[in-house]
Amino acid sequence: MKPNSNAVPAARPEPGPLFIKPDHWRGATVLLAEDDEIWRTVVATILRKNGFNVLEAADGDAALKFYHAAGNTIDVVLADILMPGVNGVELAKMNFENRFLPFIICSAVNDPFTALDALHHGVQDYLVKPVEEHLLMNVLVGALARHRFYQETKENPAFEGNLDRIIIEPRLGEITRAHSWLFHKVAPLHLSNRDKAFVYALYEFLMNAHEHGCLGLGEQRKAELIRSDRYAEELIQREQETHGGRIEVCISLLQDKVAVTIEDDGRGFDFEHYMHISRDELVERLTRPSGRGIAIASRYFDSVFYGSGGSRVTLIKRLGPPHVPPPA
């Protein structure tokens, strides 16, 4: 199967908070890997109706060909698990170790162990068939928005100075810059893509300090806003109404570990609940628009310590042997 030569090139959203709005992603390209022709047609129709370009792969091998042939025109992968040839988890593993595109599983397999296996390979969204259109679109936009944060993190310059500590205001742009600062701080370690995954996971803790800590936006309210497509507007409004809040980020690089502390001025939250989510609840939460980020991100660290009622978190990642980059 060859990529659709008539597909419109993916629209690249302008930077800024509005990329968390659904309309901002019209023109983006979805690689849809699904061997059930009827369900593939249904999903492809929904995606195209909402303004997405779709590359349809009838099995895992075809999806792999698309993945390599279409290059940077693919924005997100939506894949089944059980397919002829390469299965969905194997496809996710390959993506995780290479380009780290946002990856969504949509499968009839409702098994916690399979879902957790997918999580280990960078999958943050796991939908169980059949899935309603509104939920599918919310999950798709959420995955694209997270990836946009990652891209801005790589492209933005890091803060100058401040070798191990920065203080930022509760603004979405500042969260992106702080994430960029963290990436630049670990750059001298020459980590592989897989070993560097914990740095991507730090985004969830930064956003938790921003949304829940400084802006007072709880899980239930956030879910309501996402479902009604009003999340971006309220986030911007709360940022404008918040004065004096701050987030402090500290990093320590040791020989065999990295330690990051993130502290905000908020009232904290029920971190115990999110840190002890059962496997079954975590899998169920994968179908929600919010409420599982901290539980998933915590799995990328060896130790997670909360203090000050949840307004401060220290994350420790132990490192393996240093990665030696290939000669230029």
Q: What is d(CA 18, CA 233) in angstroms, rounded to the nearest whole number?
A: 8
Q: What is the DSSP string of 218-279?
A: -HHHHHHHHHTT-HHHHHHHHHHH--S--EEEEEEE-SSEEEEEEEESS----HHHHHT--H
Question: In angstroms, how far apart are the furthest CA atoms of the chain?
Answer: 56
Q: What is the DSSP string of 151-215?
A: HHHHHSPPPSS-SSEEEE-S-HHHHHHHHHHHHHHHGGG---TTTTHHHHHHHHHHHHIIIIIIS
Task: Examine the domain organization and report whether 216 and 276 are in the same domain.
Answer: yes
Task: Examine the domain organization and report whether 164 and 199 are in the same domain.
Answer: yes
What is the chain's Cα-based Rg?
Answer: 19
CATH number at residue 260: 3.30.565.10
Task: Examine the domain organization and report whether 27 and 132 are in the same domain.
Answer: yes
Q: Is residue 76 part of a domain?
A: yes
Measured CA distances, 243 to 51, 198, 223, 239 (Å): 38, 31, 25, 8
Task: Examine the domain organization and report whether 193 and 228 are in the same domain.
Answer: yes
Kindly report the pTM of this predicted structure.
Answer: 0.62
Task: Examine the domain organization and report whether 165 and 314 are in the same domain.
Answer: yes
Domain that holds residue 103: 17-147
Task: Scan for tokens 């990529």, then name that residue.
Answer: 3
Q: Is residue 5 part of a domain?
A: no
Backbone angles phi, psi at 259, to 5 degrees: -120, 130
Task: Examine the domain organization and report whether 141 and 219 are in the same domain.
Answer: no
Task: Examine the domain organization and report whether 141 and 218 are in the same domain.
Answer: no
Q: Is residue 324 part of a domain?
A: no
Number of domains within the chain: 2
Task: Examine the domain organization and report whether 180 and 234 are in the same domain.
Answer: yes
Check if the beta carbon of residue 51 is closer than 8 Å to that of residue 26.
Answer: yes
Backbone angles phi, psi at 79, to 5 degrees: -135, 145
Task: Examine the domain organization and report whether 98 and 168 are in the same domain.
Answer: no
pLDDT (tens digit, 0 to 9) for every residue of the chain, 328 residues total? 334 434 443 444 344 455 666 677 888 999 999 999 999 999 999 999 999 999 999 999 999 999 988 878 899 999 999 898 899 999 998 888 888 888 999 988 877 677 777 877 888 788 888 888 888 888 898 888 877 776 665 555 444 333 478 888 888 888 888 888 888 888 878 887 778 889 888 998 999 999 989 998 888 888 888 888 888 888 888 988 887 788 999 998 877 888 999 999 888 887 887 777 777 787 777 767 677 888 888 888 999 999 888 899 999 999 876 544 444 4
Task: Examine the domain organization and report whether 186 and 48 are in the same domain.
Answer: no
Q: Is residue 326 part of a domain?
A: no
CATH number at residue 59: 3.40.50.2300
Q: Is residue 323 part of a domain?
A: no
Q: Is residue 137 part of a domain?
A: yes
Token code pair at residue 85:
């040839």
Q: Is residue 4 part of a domain?
A: no
Q: Is residue 11 part of a domain?
A: no
Task: Examine the domain organization and report whether 188 and 100 are in the same domain.
Answer: no
Q: Tell me which of 128, 147, 166 is where a domain ends.
A: 147
Q: What is d(CA 136, CA 142) in angstroms, rounded to the nearest whole number?
A: 10
Task: Examine the domain organization and report whether 217 and 294 are in the same domain.
Answer: yes
Q: Tell me which of 147, 176, 199 is where a domain ends.
A: 147
Q: Tell me which of 147, 175, 195 is where a domain ends.
A: 147
